[in-house]
Amino acid sequence: MYTRLSAPLDVQWELTPWCTYNCVHCYNYWRRDERPMRVLTEDQLVVRRKTAKELLENKVFHVTLTGGEPLGVIEQVMPELRQLASAGIQMSINTNLALMTTEMGKLLKELGIRSILTSLMSADEILNDEIAQQRGAFRRTIEGIKVAVSMGLRVSVNMVVSQKNFDTIYDTGKLAYSLGAKAFCATKVSKPSNCEDFTGFPLSREQLGSMFHELIRIRKAFGIEVASLEHYPACVFPNTETRTMFGNRNCSAAKTSCTIGFDGNIRPCSHAPMSYGNVAEQGLSVAWIGMDAWRDDSLVPSVCKLTCGEYPGKCGGGCRIESLNVHQGVGGSDPYSLEAAPAAKRAVAKLKLLDPAVIVQLQPKVRFRKENFGFIAYRSSTNWVAMDSTLYGIVVPSKPVSVTDVATAYQSSEDDALETLSILSAKGIVQII
């Protein structure tokens, strides 16, 4: 059970369905109508303006620009993106970098964008282009990565892993490292909801485990950060090492994030085909309220609730859209789930307590949003906390705060107060002075 926030913290905004590539694992490839045009029409621009307005009015903290290929239309939507940047909304971008130039990099920097997630299908050029369905795709993405890295932008490379490119994971990670990427991600392919036959693409459970081990091998060989950009059922991890590294993701769909499609439709996540409203009609707030089933755990498979000792705190039963695509319903089991208690325990890092004599102060870049329980204090998509009005009243005046100050305000022990300040420090909400 998750408390319903007044609005998402983070939004994936699909600027366009148009793309330079036509990757066989992407929903764009499986469209049955004509491929979309690159230039946005006036009607489409109206939807973009309304989307920006909704993001501002609902005080969303972070927006990921995605597509399609967002660089293809970014110049057309710069007025709206400048509005977001001026309001302090953080932005990042998911792009294949095929259109990356120095001029494009300057636009990204103007918007405050410092982080790029790009896709590379394989270190094998022929295979990469085959998957992208575009001759020269490998070369264009490689050149784009080089431009972005040369401009000081943080580039993370994601490889969508299927049967087609499974054997090239290590070499692709090695290539990403050699190009200056700060992180390499390998993420299992997921069946697009509009695909009728995905035979020959999905990984087996054994291959998924091997993918995790390849990522660990890459990290040990090159020292590069590694990750997998999906949340997986706890029971899928073969050992503690893989679960510790890749089993700490939780599904944020409709809990802290959602997707606004290129058509204005509001969905729980980018994989989800179902819409709960449109920005130009119902608005973000109405659609967000309508997603309560994603928050109340009613979609979690009953077998997971009964057999997994780590539900609900450490496992939510896997991906609901994977279930939808395989079982024709969001309440079924994730196809990778073993429907059993996890073999590996989730390692939880122990909170490092501050010195009891510590004095802290609010970090200047922290932003706040009022909620019915108090406030959200937000530094980044991974560093935010919920706090009540008492704690807000202590830290927001930006004056020095001690353990005694917190203990006095709550009439609590200094041990409890120290833990509170230690959590705020670990999340980057306060700084030691």
Residues 6+ apart with CB under 8 A from 136: 129
List Cα–Cα distances, 24 to 131, 266, 272, in angstroms: 6, 24, 18
Q: Are 64 and 280 in contact (CB under 8 A)?
A: no
What tokens appear for 44 in the block?
């489409």
Question: What was the pLDDT predicted at 22?
Answer: 92
What tokens appear for 23 in the block?
């990757």
Rounded Cα distance, 233 and 236, in Å: 6
Question: What was the pLDDT predicted at 31?
Answer: 59
What tokens appear for 166 in the block?
């499974």
Mean pLDDT, rounded, of the chain: 95
Rounded Cα distance, 375 and 378, in Å: 9
Domains detected in the chain = 10-295 (3.20.20.70), 359-432 (3.90.930)
Q: Are 222 and 173 in contact (CB under 8 A)?
A: yes
Q: Is 68 left (phi over 0), alpha (psi -120 to 50) or beta?
A: left
What tokens appear for 408 in the block?
């006095």
pLDDT per residue rounded down to tens, the chain (433 residues): 578 999 999 999 999 999 999 998 887 655 556 778 999 999 999 999 999 999 999 999 999 999 999 999 999 999 999 999 999 999 999 999 999 999 999 999 999 999 999 999 999 999 999 999 999 999 999 999 999 999 999 999 999 999 999 999 999 999 999 999 999 999 999 988 878 788 899 999 999 999 999 999 999 999 999 999 999 999 999 899 999 999 988 899 999 999 999 999 999 999 999 999 999 999 999 999 999 999 998 999 989 988 887 888 788 889 999 999 887 799 999 999 998 888 887 777 899 999 999 999 999 999 999 999 999 999 999 999 999 999 999 999 889 999 999 999 999 999 999 999 999 999 999 999 9
**Strand pairing class (367-371; 225-227):** unpaired
Tens of pLDDT, residue by residue over 118-150, are 999 999 999 999 999 999 999 999 999 999 999
Provide the b/e sequence for 319-334 (b: ≥16 CB within 10 Å).
bbbbbbbbeeebebbb
Torsion sign, CA atoms 46, 48, 51, 52: negative
What tokens appear for 303 in the block?
């077998």
Question: What was the pLDDT predicted at 326?
Answer: 83
Cα three-residue angle 277-281-11, rounded to 5 degrees: 50
Element (H, E) at 288: helix 284-289
Question: What was the pLDDT predicted at 29?
Answer: 59
Rounded Cα distance, 371 and 374, in Å: 5
Rounded Cα distance, 226 and 158, in Å: 10
**Strand pairing class (62-66; 90-94):** parallel
Asked if the bond preceding 312 is cis, omega within 30° of 0, the reply is yes
Half-sphere CA count of 166, side-chain side, radius 13 A: 19
Torsion sign, CA atoms 117, 123, 129, 133: negative
Tens of pLDDT, residue by residue over 61-82, are 999 999 999 999 999 999 999 9
Rounded Cα distance, 243 and 167, in Å: 22
**Strand pairing class (257-260; 10-14):** parallel
Question: What was the pLDDT predicted at 128?
Answer: 98
